C-alpha cells in the first residue's frame, strides 16, 4: 500500500519495468535505511537450505520486522536491493517471483546475482530504503 509521503514513479519514455518503479520520492518524511535482511530464524538458524523461495520469504519477513521496529511498513519502502547467490537466470527468477508477490513489489528495486553472501548456505539478502511520515 502506497503512503502519501512516498511516490513511486514510472518514466513513460523508458521501457516499462516488470512490476517495480523506475524511481521513488520521499516527501517530508523520515528516512530509514536497513541493514541487509537475511534468511535466519529467531535462533540464528538458516531457513530453507538450498531453497530460494523459502529463503526469500524468510528474508522478507525479517526485513518487514526491521522496518516495523523503525516505525515503517512495506508501503513506506522507496527502494530495495536484492542480492542472490546465482549461477543461472533461473536462480534470480525464483527469488524475483517471491519479491514481486510481496508487499515490497511497488518499490524501485535492483536485483543482483552475487558469488557469495555472509552466512554458510545463504542464498538471499535484501536491504531497503524507506521513508515514514
- For the 6-132 domain, the top CATH level (class) is alpha beta
| pLDDT of the residue at 2 | 54
Q: Does residue 34 carry a pLDDT above 60?
A: yes
Q: Does residue 3 carry a pLDDT above 70?
A: no
Of 22, 26, 18, 103, nearest to 63 by C-alpha is 103
Task: State how beta strands 124-132 and 30-33 pair.
Answer: antiparallel
Q: Does residue 54 carry a pLDDT above 90?
A: yes
Comparing 73 with 5, which gets the higher pLDDT? Answer: 73
Domain layout of the chain by residue ranges: 6-132
Give the rounded percent of residues in the chain with a pLDDT score beyond 90.
73
Amino acid at each position: 500500500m502506497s503512503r502519501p509521503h512516498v511516490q513511486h514513479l514510472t518514466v513513460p519514455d523508458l521501457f516499462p519495468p516488470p512490476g517495480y518503479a523506475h524511481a521513488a520520492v520521499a516527501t517530508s518524511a523520515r528516512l530509514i535505511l536497513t541493514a541487509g535482511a537475511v534468511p535466519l530464524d529467531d535462533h540464528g538458524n538458516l531457513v530453507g537450505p538450498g531453497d530460494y523461495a523459502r529463503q526469500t520469504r524468510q528474508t522478507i519477513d525479517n526485513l518487514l520486522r526491521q522496518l516495523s521496529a523503525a516505525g515503517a511498513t512495506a508501503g513506506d519502502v522507496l527502494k530495495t536491493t536484492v542480492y542472490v547467490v546465482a549461477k543461472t537466470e533461473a536462480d534470480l527468477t525464483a527469488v524475483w517471483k517471491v519479491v514481486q508477490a510481496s508487499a515490497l513489489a511497488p518499490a524501485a528495486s535492483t536485483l543482483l546475482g552475487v558469488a557469495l553472501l555472509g552466512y554458510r548456505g545463504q542464498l538471499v539478502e535484501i536491504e531497503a530504503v524507506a521513508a515514514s511520515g
